[in-house]
DNA sequence: CTATGGCACGGATT
DNA sequence: AATCCGTGCCATAG
């Protein structure tokens, strides 16, 4: 990929620049870091300048003088997000990378993370070092559903620690994303999810009761008996069950960022490290968004000035090699700047356009296209395409989604569809659903409704008479 | 006969 | 140029 010419006229240099900028843009942070590390090791002309940290909030400063958060103008408008570069290691969890060593069979930083690695990264910061082996043990003992396959007591015994300590670690893990992961049972996974959900928006109190006491009735859809057990009507019981199946997932590892529909033989869940992390400056609803664009380095790259000075005095046999090194270094530095610039501008624009989606979820996703954004930012469409592809974004609610979700044209309609079906009294057929949707302003054909249903894993009308819960296929 | 899923086509998007 | 997506038509299951 590194194009070099013996006679570097300006022309090939420019095309090389373009070519490399493009390739770098299409890389995720993880992949990029590997490239950079390799180049840093191989090229003496390249130099890494360590970044400083903000004296006030300790945030690492990459390529900026003043901390973008602490020095922001007061009373920033809500739709004006704070966007800045942030080194990957500082992401979400401080020094999380170090903990990966604790996992067996996980020597390098994997391109696609498995579930254990993904969870470990999240909890690493809050984990006391002496508890790491416990966490590693727990995470390597997960089954395909993300549930703990061995009893906690066994882990405690193995490490000769009190059971309470294992449970503490377990609690930490359960509250990581995907929520409820590491729970010994679906029941406990649901309870954890309910607790966390309850912190942001109140969940029906009956839901706790139902999960805690009537798990078996719930999973067998015995709403009559469930109602009786809870002391409410069977209709109310159904509502509770509906709420649970809509908002909770008894098998945390499934249906996370849903690669696992369409009856594929190999249900592969992939977890990406985020390339962009979005959070809220404050808990207030109208607080500005804080958007961190991951860079592979805790500092910035530049051409080593000493190397440049020394170039004229190069020994005759090395002179050509040195010149090439310098060229490569300059190229890479330029390309990195370009990449960061593009990514930051893209992230800012997305944060503005999709603020409602970021904060309030799928129903508010605006159907935008990459082409539109390309126009907005004054770049070529393929630039946006590359910038978006293979990138992952972490939302304030902790979910990690592919950046391409921001351009999902049908998500809004699909959630509207889900709403309709969850609120239906009698099972509506696709035709009726299409009509209702068009009344809400979503004009879609009957055939399309069927497709959306399939995407969401919703059964056809005649099989929906008795609400079947989502979950195990 | 009705509701649904498969296949294929054309236009939009990447 | 390749791919994705919504849609229409048609076979078929219920």
Output Rg (C-alpha) for chain A, integer angstroms: 26
The proportion of chain A whose per-residue pLDDT surpasses 90, expressed as a percent, equals: 32
As a whole number, mean pLDDT of residues A170-184 equals 87
As a whole number, mean pLDDT of residues A19-36 equals 83
Give the nucleotide at minimum CA-to-C1' distance from A450. B4
Separation of CA A469 and C1' B7 in angstroms?
31
Which range has the worst mean pLDDT, A106-120, A184-198, A223-237? A106-120
Separation of CA A214 and C1' C6 in angstroms?
43
- Which distant-in-sequence residues (6+ apart) come within 8 Å of A370 by Cβ? A381, A384, A385, A388, A407
pLDDT greater at residue A186 or residue A437: A437
Q: What is the pLDDT of residue A456?
A: 83
Separation of CA A409 and C1' B13 in angstroms?
11
Query: Where residue A209 falls among pLDDT bands split at 50, 70, 90?
Result: confident
Closest CA to A102 of A76, A72, A128: A128
Q: Which residue(s) pair with A148 in the sheet?
A: A142
Query: Where residue A341 falls among pLDDT bands split at 50, 70, 90?
Result: very high
Query: Where residue A274 falls among pLDDT bands split at 50, 70, 90?
Result: confident
Do the Cβ atoms of A299 and A63 come closer than 8 Å? no
Report the relative pairing of strands A392-394 and A400-402 from DSSP bridges. Answer: antiparallel
Closest CA to A427 of A472, A470, A468, A471: A468
Which residue is closest, via its CA, to the C1' of B14?
A385
- What is the average pLDDT value for chain A, to the nearest integer? 80
As a whole number, mean pLDDT of residues A404-423 equals 91
Confidence check: pLDDT of A247 > 50: yes
Report the relative pairing of strands A60-61 and A276-280 from DSSP bridges. Answer: unpaired
- Which distant-in-sequence residues (6+ apart) come within 8 Å of A410 by Cβ? A367, A452
Q: How far apart are CA A372 and CA A162, in angstroms?
A: 58
If you write DSSP's letter for every residue of A341-399 in order, what string do you get?
HHHHHHHHHHHHHTHHHHHH-GGG-----HHHHHHHHTS-HHHHHHHHTT-EEE-TTS-
Strand C nucleotides with an atom less than 7 Å from a protein beta carbon: 5-9, 14
As a whole number, mean pLDDT of residues A248-259 equals 57
Q: What is the pLDDT of residue A14?
A: 61
Separation of CA A389 and C1' C5 in angstroms?
18
Closest CA to A385 of A415, A342, A355, A336: A342
Closest CA to A18 of A293, A386, A411, A425: A386
Query: Where residue A96 falls among pLDDT bands split at 50, 70, 90?
Result: very low
As a whole number, mean pLDDT of residues A329-348 equals 93
Length of chain A: 473
Q: Please measure the distance between the N-terminal and C-terminal CA atoms of chain A and give it in whole angstroms.
A: 44
Q: What is the pLDDT of residue A357?
A: 93
Query: Where residue A8 falls among pLDDT bands split at 50, 70, 90?
Result: very low
Confidence check: pLDDT of A53 > 90: no
* Nucleic chain B contacts, Cβ below 7 Å: A 369-371, 381, 385, 389, 407, 429-431, 446-447, 450, 453-454, 459-462
As a whole number, mean pLDDT of residues A347-363 equals 92
Q: What is the pLDDT of residue A110?
A: 36
Of the spans A96-100, A263-267, A371-375, which averages the highest pLDDT? A371-375
Which range has the worst mean pLDDT, A14-18, A81-85, A144-148, A355-359? A14-18
Give the nucleotide at minimum CA-to-C1' distance from A431. B3
As a whole number, mean pLDDT of residues A177-198 equals 86
Confidence check: pLDDT of A95 > 70: no
Query: Where residue A451 falls among pLDDT bands split at 50, 70, 90?
Result: very high
Q: What is the pLDDT of residue A263?
A: 31
CA A449-A450-A455 angle, 5° bins: 95
- Which distant-in-sequence residues (6+ apart) come within 8 Å of A427 by Cβ? A461, A462, A464, A465
Neighbours of A94 (CB within 10 A): 13
Strand B nucleotides with an atom less than 7 Å from a protein beta carbon: 2-7, 13-14
Do the Cβ atoms of A235 and A423 come closer than 8 Å? no
Separation of CA A108 and C1' B10 in angstroms?
46
As a whole number, mean pLDDT of residues A425-443 equals 92
Separation of CA A365 and C1' B2 in angstroms?
34
Give the nucleotide at minimum CA-to-C1' distance from A429. B3
Give the nucleotide at minimum CA-to-C1' distance from A446. C7
Does residue A78 sit in helix, strand or coil?
A: coil
With 0-12 / 13-18 / 19 or more C-beta atoms within 10 angstroms meaning exposed / middle / buried, residue A200 is: exposed
* Three-state SS sequence of A232-270: CCHHHHHHHHHHHHHHCCCCCCCCCCCCCCCCCCCCCCC
Q: How far apart are CA A375 and CA A383, in angstroms?
A: 11
Which residue is closest, via its CA, to the C1' of C14?
A462
Whose tokens are 């019981």? That residue is: A237
Q: What is the pLDDT of residue A293?
A: 94
Report long-range pairs for A170-173 (Cβ below 8 Å, ≥24 apart): A170/A138, A172/A123, A172/A126, A172/A127, A172/A135, A173/A119, A173/A123, A173/A135, A173/A138, A173/A139
pLDDT greater at residue A204 or residue A254: A204
Separation of CA A432 and C1' B2 in angstroms?
13
- Which distant-in-sequence residues (6+ apart) come within 8 Å of A191 by Cβ? A208, A211, A212
As a whole number, mean pLDDT of residues A351-377 equals 92
Check residue A271 and report its DSSP letter.
B
Give the nucleotide at minimum CA-to-C1' distance from A445. C7
Q: What is the pLDDT of residue A381?
A: 92
Query: Where residue A458 falls among pLDDT bands split at 50, 70, 90?
Result: confident
Confidence check: pLDDT of A425 > 50: yes
pLDDT greater at residue A219 or residue A230: A230
Q: What is the pLDDT of residue A111?
A: 35
Confidence check: pLDDT of A234 > 60: yes
Which range has the worst mean pLDDT, A45-49, A174-178, A336-340? A174-178
Give the nucleotide at minimum CA-to-C1' distance from A410. C5
Q: How far apart are CA A52 and CA A299, in angstroms?
A: 8
Does residue A117 sit in helix, strand or coil?
A: helix
As a whole number, mean pLDDT of residues A76-84 equals 86
Separation of CA A345 and C1' B14 in angstroms?
20
As a whole number, mean pLDDT of residues A314-321 equals 87
Closest CA to A190 of A164, A229, A165, A219: A219
* Nucleic chain C contacts, Cβ below 7 Å: A 409-410, 443-448, 451, 462
Separation of CA A179 and C1' C5 in angstroms?
32
Confidence check: pLDDT of A470 > 60: no
Separation of CA A445 and C1' C4 in angstroms?
17
Tokens of A443: 């004009």
For residue A222, how many C-alpha atoms fall within 13 Å in the half-sphere facing its CB?
A: 10
- Which distant-in-sequence residues (6+ apart) come within 8 Å of A386 by Cβ? A22, A25, A26
């Amino acid at each position: 990929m590194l194009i070099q010419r013996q006679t570097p006229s300006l022309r090939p240099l420019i095309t090389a620049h373009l070519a490399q900028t493009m390739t770098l843009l299409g890389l995720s942070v993880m992949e990029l870091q590997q490239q950079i590390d390799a180049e840093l090791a191989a090229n003496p002309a390249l130099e890494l300048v360590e970044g400083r940290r903000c004296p006030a909030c300790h945030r690492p400063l990459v390529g900026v003088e003043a901390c973008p958060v602490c020095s922001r103008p007061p009373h920033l408008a809500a739709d004006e997000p704070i966007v800045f570069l942030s080194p990957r290691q500082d992401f979400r969890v401080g020094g999380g990378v170090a903990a990966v060593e604790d996992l067996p069979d996980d020597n390098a930083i994997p391109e696609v993370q498995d579930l254990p690695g993904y969870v470990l990264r999240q909890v690493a910061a809050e984990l006391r070092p002496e508890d790491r082996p416990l966490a590693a043990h727990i995470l390597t003992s997960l089954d395909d559903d993300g549930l703990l396959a061995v009893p906690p007591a066994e882990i405690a015994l193995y490490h000769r620690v009190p059971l309470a300590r294992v449970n503490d670690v377990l609690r930490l893990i359960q509250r990581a994303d995907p929520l409820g992961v590491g729970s010994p049972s679906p029941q406990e996974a649901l309870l954890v999810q309910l607790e966390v959900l309850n912190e942001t928006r109140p969940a029906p109190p009956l839901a706790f009761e139902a999960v805690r006491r009537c798990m078996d009735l719930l999973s067998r859809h015995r709403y009559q008996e469930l109602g009786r057990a809870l002391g409410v009507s069977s209709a109310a019981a159904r509502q509770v069950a509906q709420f649970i199946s809509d908002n909770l997932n008894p098998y945390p590892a499934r249906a996370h960022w849903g690669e696992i529909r369409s009856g594929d033989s190999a249900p592969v869940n992939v977890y990406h490290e985020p390339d962009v992390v979005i959070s809220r400056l404050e808990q207030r609803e109208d607080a500005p968004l804080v958007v961190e664009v991951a860079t592979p380095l805790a500092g910035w790259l530049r051409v080593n000035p000493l190397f440049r000075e020394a170039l004229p005095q190069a020994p005759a046999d090395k002179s050509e090699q040195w010149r090439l090194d310098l060229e490569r270094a300059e190229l890479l530095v330029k390309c990195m700047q370009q990449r960061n610039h593009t990514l930051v501008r893209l992230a800012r624009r997305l944060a503005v356009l999709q603020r409602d989606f970021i904060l309030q979820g799928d129903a508010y996703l605006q159907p935008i296209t990459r082409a539109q954004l390309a126009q907005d930012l004054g770049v070529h469409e393929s630039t946006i395409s590359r910038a978006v592809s293979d990138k992952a974004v972490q939302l304030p609610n902790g979910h990690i989604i592919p950046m391409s979700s921001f351009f999902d044209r049908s998500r809004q309609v699909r959630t509207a569809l889900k709403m309709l079906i969850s609120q239906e009294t009698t099972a509506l057929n696709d035709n009726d659903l299409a009509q209702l949707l068009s009344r809400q302003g979503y004009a879609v054909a009957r055939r399309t409704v069927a497709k959306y249903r399939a995407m969401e894993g919703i059964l056809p009308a005649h099989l929906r008479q008795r609400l079947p819960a989502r979950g195990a296929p």
